[in-house]
Amino acid sequence: MPYGFEVSGLVPADCQTVYQAWMSSEAHSAMTRGEAHIDPVVGGSFRAWGDYIWGTTQELEPFRRIVQSWRTQNFTDSDADSRIEVIFEPEGENTLVRVVHTNVPDGDVGYEQGGWTRSYFEPMKEYFAARR
């Protein structure tokens, strides 16, 4: 049975900067250290970490929120797409990035148990700290 969870991290940049980087092929690749290709419009497709992650952007609230369908190579053909909601909240000069990840295939717990932290939050912190 699919499940959901939430993870978050404080990033040393303002919401606009972090949001724009998330939706840019070049900046997303640089901030995660994994190749990304993003069509930054509702209905646009994206790929991240080479071809490991892919999906479609479903909703955009500039500088506040991104909603995307999300799959990885770990999903089976019978698994439905999962969904990520990325929320950008100002915390002084920083941004609290919250990822609400739902409809994750049962047993696929790596994203919750460190995957988002290792692949997104830690490299994002380093990337934006180096640009301050």
The pLDDT > 70 percentage for the chain reads 100
Over the chain, what is the mean pLDDT? 95
Domain ranges of the chain: 3-129
pLDDT in tens, 47-84: 999 999 999 999 999 999 999 999 999 999 999 999 99
pTM of this prediction?
0.95
Beta strand extents in 50-105 (DSSP E only): 53-61, 65-72, 82-91, 94-104
DSSP state of 120: I
Q: Examine the pLDDT at 32 and tell me if it is beyond 90.
A: yes
Distance CA 128, CA 90 (A): 15
What homologous superfamily is domain 3-129 in, according to CATH?
START domain (3.30.530.20)
